[in-house]
Amino acid sequence: MDTVITIGISDMKIAKKPEILATYALGSCVGICLYDVILKSGSLGHILLPLSGGAQNINKYKFADTCIPEMIKGMEKLGSNKRNLTAKIAGGASMFEISGDSTIGNIGKRNVEAVKNTLMQFQIKIIAEDVGLNYGRTVFFHLNDGSVQVKSFAKDIKIL
Amino acid sequence: MSIENLEQLSDMHIDVLRELGNIGAGNAATSLSAMLDRTINMSTPSIKILEINDASESLGGPENVVVGILGRLSGDIDGLIMFIIEQDLALSAINYLLHNNTKSCTELTDIEYSALAEIGNIMISSYIRAMAELSGLHILTSVPGVNVDMVGALLSVPAILMEDFSDRIIFIENDFISPQDTITANMLLVPSIDSLNKIMVGLGIV
């Protein structure tokens, strides 16, 4: 029986096959799945905000620009070569539209942009994504094959 | 002494918030009774100061699908207010208001979403009216946004927007009791710390 390792908000974990990494109910947050196809290992981060603004004494897993480097570092420690890493991302939805208030509608988009920019800086390719729109997503990241299962309310399950 | 973060709230502050919740819920129960044409009473609300992660646990777990109605507060204060109800209540309210016979929240029509937004608007206004009257502050609410989805996903919005202020929210849980059933509705109040201080000062608590 495979075990499911759960990742909370502003958290990140690393594991190897045959484990499954999961994070529940991503709304405007973004789930980042990094996979090493050689070692069949992966990490899943659940970020809340785009940029840390260089602040100290923070939870690094809370921000896109500090979580992703930690994910890469952690995987390298376990023997991964950065060149073998690929990314799949999900989340960044716009859960509420309030007329005359674009901030609320845009928070998911800002998160997705920051995740994409940070991954680009580290030259990690995004090979699949399910982002934006107006619904929440639960993510199961299967380390056996790197597939990412996305579940949403009243929608078919997607496989990335 | 002014409050710097929600961890610092004293028992007295909590009592004040409970009383606000009580009066707000009283107004809301009256509005809801009129809207749904049935007698609705309410219990004394419970007030919790919760981290966002724990808030979704106490609402049935992050994947529990609920109806969320979110409004932005402005004027003298800055913050968010979110009204969360179970799908059953949403359906019975929609069906009563629109004379529909909708069985599930999976595919609501635009007009049904509008009806939900209107219910949320009335409930939110009932709370805010109580708060504004008691504190003497001028408080405005936006036309709310509405969505039916996993509660964890809905709560990510106040979590992200209010991150600068606090990773905790004020959680006012009310049971609305009608002869047919008891409905738990939750009002989440996420004021900026500045605003919370203004409210407390407005209520004469220093």
User: What is the DSSP code string of B104-173?
Assistant: -STT--HHHHHHHHHHHHHHHHHHHHHHHHHHT--EEEPPPEEEEEEHHHHHHHHHHHTTTT-SEEEEEE
Catalytic residue selected from A20, A29, A75, A107: A29
Task: Answer whether A96 sits within 8 Å of B70, measured CB to CB.
Answer: yes
pTM above 0.80, yes or no: yes
CATH topology of domain B6-202: Chemotaxis protein chec (3.40.1550)
**8 A C-beta contact, residue B127 and residue B133:** no
Say which CATH class A4-159 falls into.
alpha beta
For residue A29, indicate whether it is catalytic. Answer: yes
pLDDT, tens only, B38-68:
777 777 778 887 877 778 888 889 999 999 9
Domain ranges of chain B: 6-202
Enter the DSSP assignment of B184. Answer: E
Residue to substitute from A6, A59, A96, interface B, most B β-carbons within 10 A: A96
Which of B107, B6, B102, B88 is closest to B47 using CA atoms? Answer: B6
pLDDT on residue A148: 97
> What is the pLDDT averaged over residues B7-34?
80
Q: Which of A26, A101, A134 sits opposite B72 (nearest CB)?
A: A101
pLDDT, tens only, A25-42:
999 999 999 999 999 999
pLDDT on residue B167: 63
b/e A64-92 (16+ beta carbons within 10 angstroms → b)? bbbbbeebbebbeeeebeeeebbbbbbbb
**8 A C-beta contact, residue B21 and residue B134:** no
Q: What 3-state DSSP class applies to B37?
A: coil
CB pairs under 8 A between A and B: 100
pLDDT, tens only, B131-145:
888 888 899 988 899
Task: Answer whether B143 sits within 8 Å of A29, measured CB to CB.
Answer: no
ipTM of the prediction? 0.91
Interatomic CA distance for residues B108 and B94, integer angstroms: 10
Q: Which of A26, A111, A154 sits opposite B153 (nearest CB)?
A: A26
